[in-house]
């Protein structure tokens, strides 16, 4: 969540790729919040209790959207605050893909499984 906030401000396309990876991580953990707490949240011992709770809530919100049938949660949410988000993503994505050596987006989907 903290990384996603920084990326959303820095580069919408990097945010998109990061969130695809988050969704993949959630699917790899069976959309189970307790597994996410154990395998992800627990790896951040320096978080305050408030930050930890905020992170857990963020994962829970993303899981709920995914279980409701949402895909590309990050795009839908971003469009609510920035009606030009899709255009910005389309413009920035090729450069970000080149930066990370991604030839096609399907190459990074499912990597956490």
**The model's pTM:** 0.67
**Is residue 113 in some structural domain?**
no
Per-residue pLDDT of the chain (113 residues; tens, 9 = 90+): 677 777 767 777 787 778 888 888 998 999 999 999 999 999 999 999 999 999 999 999 889 888 887 666 666 666 777 788 778 888 888 888 888 888 887 776 665 54
Report pLDDT for 38: 96
- Residue 11 CA to residue 83 CA, distance in Å, equals 16
* Structural domain total, the chain: 1
Report pLDDT for 99: 87
Q: Are 62 and 22 in contact (CB under 8 A)?
A: yes
**Is residue 8 in some structural domain?**
yes
How far is the CA of 59 from the CAs of 17, 27, 99, 104, 113, in angstroms? 16, 12, 27, 26, 18
Residue ranges making up the domain that contains 81 = 2-107
**Is residue 80 in some structural domain?**
yes
């Amino acid at each position: 969540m903290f990384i996603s906030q920084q990326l959303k401000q820095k580069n919408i396309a990097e945010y998109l790729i990061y969130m695809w990876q988050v969704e993949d991580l959630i699917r790899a953990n069976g959309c189970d919040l307790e597994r996410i707490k154990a395998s992800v949240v627990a790896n951040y011992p320096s978080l305050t209790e408030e930050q930890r709770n905020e992170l857990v809530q963020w994962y829970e919100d993303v899981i709920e959207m995914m279980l409701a049938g949402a895909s590309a949660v990050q795009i839908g949410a971003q469009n609510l605050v920035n009606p030009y988000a899709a255009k910005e993503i389309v413009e920035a994505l090729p450069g970000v893909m080149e930066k990370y050596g991604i030839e096609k987006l399907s190459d990074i989907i499912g990597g956490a499984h």
